[in-house]
């Protein structure tokens, strides 16, 4: 019998999505399932984005330019990024099929099979998926839940540099931890990249969700490192348009962008209506972002307080994004997450959470941790936290 490739077999199943069939089955049985497992917010998309699609009547939905609509690239460069202090031209970016394609492109373009990528652990699970797909070796910089996954000293990054190291990758703010890099830390990483002539890949999808007084500092703003920095981005979280599937790969290095164009041509074009939605979203008023940010701070503060009030539970306070990693008093967080969906009910309710071990490369790390996305309104979060607390009390593998 013919078999699939080793590369395909080695790609791990999504920890976020492999529980979905269990959750669907629970719902089919009439169980209310609180979705804390995925960064799919319940906040409405900007009306201007919805209206742009509604009002853009096409009698023929055709391919667009492989690099994306020129009007959209101009809008991203001249309106959105300039408003964030990122000084680029439309020729410095390419529209991608969401941030996922931008990440995959960056890895394909910047690294050969066997090259090494340094990043902080825990990290977004799809970084690992794309690394395996492209035969790249991840070299993780460990962080500690007890100090809030604080960015380690730059020595911890530099000591992992080997002759095979090709890039450092950051998520800023971070998924799954909510960690923020300070301006000084970004500049210091830039110095390491400069010293060893490495690429610096900066995932800035959650730029709008920073909860400190210090403004977000983009890696694109590191002086003198323009040829080494590649930024990946997406409209999914910023405008609550996850299903539009529009992102960007941004760099001043036009050799990198020329290679990205070849990959873009191979997949033909980004989604036409997704780009129309993105164009409309550029008219989103600043008040929208401020209101959303304030809402996430309320949700974060409630969720963190509720979790840390539970016996044996600990989670730090994230400084960005809308996720937190939580240490639970259980023997195996994946078994617990599965048990919550298959066996546990509290007043006809349960919760769906993401086991955290697949956010780690280091064996044994994250076994008793989960990621929780605080993407529900506070009344729903209140009910979900009560269900989680009761589940922890009843779980047979509880360690307290």
Tokens standing for 171?
């998520």
| φ and ψ of 201, to 5 deg | -95, 125
pLDDT value of position 125: 93
Beta bridge partners of 324: 372
Instruction: Compute the Cα dihedral for 172, 177, 182, 185 and give only its sign.
Output: negative
Walk me through the domains of the chain, giving residue ranges and CATH numbers: 6-44+287-394 (3.90.1150.10), 61-281 (3.40.640.10)
pLDDT of residue 15: 67
Find the mean pLDDT for residues 49-78. Answer: 96
- Contact indicator for 56, 263 with CB cutoff of 8 Å: no
pLDDT tens for residues 282-336? 999 999 999 999 999 999 999 999 999 999 999 999 999 999 999 999 999 999 9
* Residue-averaged pLDDT of the chain: 96
pLDDT at 10: 85
Please state, in angstroms and as integers, the Cα–Cα distance from residue 395 to each residue in 27, 76, 97, 388, following that order: 21, 49, 41, 10
Angle at 391 between CA 304 and CA 383, to 5 degrees: 55
Interval 118-144 mean pLDDT: 96
Residue 326's beta-bridge partner residues? 370
Please determine, for residue 379, whether its predicted confidence score (pLDDT) is greater than 90.
Answer: yes
**Long-range Cβ contacts of 305-311 (<8 Å, 24+ apart):** 306/381, 306/382, 306/385, 307/372, 307/385, 310/385, 310/388, 310/389, 310/392, 311/392, 311/400
Give this prediction's pTM.
0.96
């Amino acid at each position: 019998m013919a078999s699939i490739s080793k590369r395909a077999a080695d790609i791990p199943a999504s920890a976020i999505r492999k529980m979905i069939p269990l959750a669907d089955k629970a719902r089919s049985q009439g169980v209310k399932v609180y979705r804390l497992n995925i960064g799919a917010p319940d906040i409405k998309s900007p009306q201007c984005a919805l209206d742009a699609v509604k009002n853009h009547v096409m009698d023929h939905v055709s391919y667009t330019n492989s690099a994306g609509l020129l009007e959209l690239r101009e809008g991203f460069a001249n309106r959105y990024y300039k408003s964030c202090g990122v000084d680029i031209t439309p020729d410095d970016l390419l529209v991608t099929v969401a941030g996922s394609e931008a990440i995959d492109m960056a890895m394909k373009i910047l690294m050969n099979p066997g090259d090494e990528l340094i990043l902080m652990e825990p990290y977004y699970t799809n970084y690992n998926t794309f690394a395996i797909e492209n035969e790249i070796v991840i070299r993780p910089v460990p962080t500690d839940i007890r100090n809030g996954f604080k960015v380690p000293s730059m020595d911890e990054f530099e000591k992992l540099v080997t002759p095979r190291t090709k890039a450092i990758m950051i998520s800023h703010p971070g998924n799954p931890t909510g960690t923020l890099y300070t301006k000084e830390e970004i500049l210091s990483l830039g110095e390491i990249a400069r010293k060893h002539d490495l690429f610096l890949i900066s995932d800035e999808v959650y730029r709008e969700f920073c909860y400190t007084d210090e403004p977000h500092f983009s890696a694109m703003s590191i002086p003198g490192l323009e040829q080494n920095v590649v930024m990946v981005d997406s409209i999914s979280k910023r405008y609550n348009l996850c299903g539009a599937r529009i992102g960007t790969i941004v760099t001043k290095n036009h050799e990198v962008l020329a290679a990205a164009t070849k990959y873009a041509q191979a997949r033909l074009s980004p989604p036409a209506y997704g780009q129309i939605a993105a164009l409309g979203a550029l008219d989103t008023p600043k008040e929208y972002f401020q209101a959303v940010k304030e809402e996430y701070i309320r949700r974060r503060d409630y969720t963190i307080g509720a979790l840390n009030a539970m016996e044996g539970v600990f989670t730090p306070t994230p400084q960005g994004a809308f996720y937190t990693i939580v240490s639970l008093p259980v023997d195996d967080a994946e078994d617990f997450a599965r048990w919550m969906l298959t066996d546990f009910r509290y007043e006809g309710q349960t919760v769906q959470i993401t086991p955290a071990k697949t956010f780690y490369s280091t064996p044994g790390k994250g076994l008793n941790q989960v990621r929780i996305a605080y993407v529900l309104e506070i009344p729903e979060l209140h009910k979900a936290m009560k269900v989680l607390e009761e589940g922890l009390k009843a779980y047979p593998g509880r360690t307290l």
